Each structure stands twice: as structure tokens, then as C-alpha cells.
Amino acid sequence: DTAVSQTPKYLVTQMGNDKSIKCEQNLGHDTMYWYKQDSKKFLKIMFSYNNKELIINETVPNRFSPKSPDKAHLNLHINSLELGDSAVYFCASSHVGNQETQYFGPGTRLLVL
């Protein structure tokens, strides 16, 4: 059973489109995260959600919006995709009392043409 899953695994789309990436965790965690990994492998946190409340929001364009329908899901919606959005996006989750130990999903490879 996959602990943290993401769909789709690969996403190729045109500039200007709107797309969503889904994330689900079955670990019973109450905090979820989205990270962006660029072509140089640098990993940067984008968002985290704790009990449906946004905890941190780094300097991410407002074209990116996290949506959490329930504690087990944190989806990432991206409007008006740009070439620079091409990257691998990782979802992660943790317990609020142990946020230092995060479990990561397999990643979604987004390519914007």
C-alpha cells in the first residue's frame, strides 16, 4: 500500500493551461506539504497544510493554489502555466507533533511546452 501517492506521475502541457496535481496520504498524518524540485535538484517548499489551515507559504506565485478537501488530500492547482513551472513536484506528509520526519510521494514530473 502506497503511503503517499501522487497523480499524475507525468504531465506534459502547453503554456497558459490550468492543471492540477493530486496528492493523497493514508498514514493518518495531519500535515501535508508541496515541494518543487528544479532541474538542478534543488528542493524548495511551497506550501504546508495543517488541519486545513495554511501554515507557511514561501514566495510562490499566486498562480499556485493548494486545495485540501480533507485531511488525507492536498491537491496543487496551477493556473496559466509558464515554462518556468517545469519541474518535479513532490507531496509529503507528517504528524503535527513530528513534522521533522516527512514522508514523500514519488513526485509528478511537469513539463510545460
| Residues near another protein (CB under 8 A) | 4, 31, 33, 35, 40-45, 48, 50, 55-56, 90, 92, 94, 99-107
Nearest distance from C-beta of residue 40 to another protein, angstroms: 7
Minimum distance from residue 15 beta carbon to another protein (Å): 26
Of the two residues 56 and 113, which places its CB atom closer to another protein in the complex?
Answer: 56
Alpha-helix runs per DSSP H in the chain: none
Enumerate residues 6+ apart whose C-beta is below 8 A from 17: 80, 81
22-41 CB burial, b ≥16 within 10 A, e <16: bbbbeeebbbbbbbbeeeee
Closest to another protein by CB, 14 or 84: 84
C-beta closer to another protein: residue 15 or 56: 56
Q: How far is the CB of 6 from another protein (least distance, A)?
A: 8
> For residue 28, what is the DSSP state?
-
Measured from the CB of residue 29, what is the shortest distance to another protein in angstroms? Answer: 11
Residue with Cβ nearer another protein (19 or 106)? 106
C-alpha to C-alpha distance for 9 and 48, rounded to whole angstroms: 21
- Provide the 10 A C-beta neighbour count for residue 90: 23
